[in-house]
Amino acid sequence: MTIKPPSSELRHGLRALATACAALLIGSTAHAQNLDVTTSFSILGDLVTQVGGERVKVHTLVGADEDAHAFQPRPSDARSVGGATLVVVNGLGFDDWMVRLARSGGYKGEVVVASAGIDTLGMTKDDHGHDHGHHHEEANGKAVDPHAWQDVGNVRRYIANIADALAKADPAGATAYRANAERYDGELQALDAEIRATFEALPAERRKVVSSHAAFGYFGRAYGVRFLSPVGVSNNAEPTAQGVARLIRQLKAENVPAVFIENVADPRLIERIRSESGARVGGTLYSDALSKADGPAPNYLQMMRANLDTLRNALSGGS
Ligand code: ZN
């Protein structure tokens, strides 16, 4: 019995098939997304994407221009968070609902707190006295401001924490995550220096701002700008009439150059403050969410530069 050698057509066909299989294997390895990461809000989603690169698929619950303070999860959100390989939150009481959601959805892994290790900013009673929102209380009873991402120095810590967490969850990608984090950290340092230089060039008496809710405490501390707001650290609280009247008096007494709308807040309150105080509306600040992809703040770096441009234009011009 003899085995007939395969015809040249067949040999050619087999070789082509083998090549195709190899390409498919290589292709699937190169494009595999090793981690499914779920994050709470758009700014954090961007930071995880910057570190994760192509290895990580990021799912974000509270999207562009949406308010995470007022987020109402749907049952499908619990299932989606429960199925994540890794859950990353801001912490500091901003997105505690995410931790509850992950657990109720069956998530058993570690919940990574991106803000871990930052120098937190407490709120004095005066800053949030009328705030009925669900901000975090520290052990000493002092409320903590969760908006830590508004200080670029803090975000450098976020990036280091995210890189550590991704490397732990996906050790094969550790080198890539560290390289991405290092590259991005360079961009953060440049941004931080740019913001600092901009405000140092402005006279101190012009570095005063009114915005909807107290989202810029960390920004103010880092860059020497005084922020006043009618609403406390949690955006879904109603300001009192006395609180608004007091703010308007303060605004006039201190010659605050401009008031600002926020992308996540109802503009009517700021409009009322503007009409009663005579201050100018300086534009829209991005506080707790990115803009949509075609807006001026589709990622963290662009968001901070958009806010910087808006503040610089409003505060440096004549009043
Ligand atoms: Zn907020």
Give pLDDT tens digits for 127-153: 443 343 444 444 455 689 999 999 999
**The pair of three-digit structure tokens given for residue 308, joined into one six-digit string:** 């910087």
CB-based burial label for 200 (10 Å; 0-12, 13-18, 19+): exposed
What's the 198 CA to ligand 1 centre distance in angstroms?
Answer: 24
CA of 30 to the centre of ligand 1 (A): 39
Q: What is the 233 CA–ligand 1 centroid distance (Å)?
A: 6
pLDDT for 54 equals 96
Q: Model's pTM, two decimal places?
A: 0.85
CATH topology identical between 29-191 and 203-315 = yes
Ligand 1 centroid to Cα of residue 17, in Å, is 56
Q: Would you list the domain boundaries of the chain? A: 29-191, 203-315
Distance 28 CA to ligand 1 centre (A): 41
CATH architecture group of domain 203-315: 3-Layer(aba) Sandwich (3.40)
Average of per-residue pLDDT across 299-309: 98
What's the 301 CA to ligand 1 centre distance in angstroms?
A: 18
Give CA–CA dist 272/166, Å, rounded: 46
| Distance from Cα 147 to the centre of ligand 1, integer Å | 6
Q: Does domain 29-191 have CATH number 3.40.50.1980?
A: yes
The pair of three-digit structure tokens given for residue 260, joined into one six-digit string: 């600002």
C-alpha–C-alpha distance, residues 205 and 257, integer Å: 9
Supply the pLDDT for residue 34. 84
- Euclidean distance between CA atoms 13 and 51, whole angstroms: 43
Cα(287) to ligand 1 centroid in Å equals: 7
Percentage of residues in the chain with pLDDT exceeding 90?
Answer: 70
CA of 151 to the centre of ligand 1 (A): 14
CA of 231 to the centre of ligand 1 (A): 10
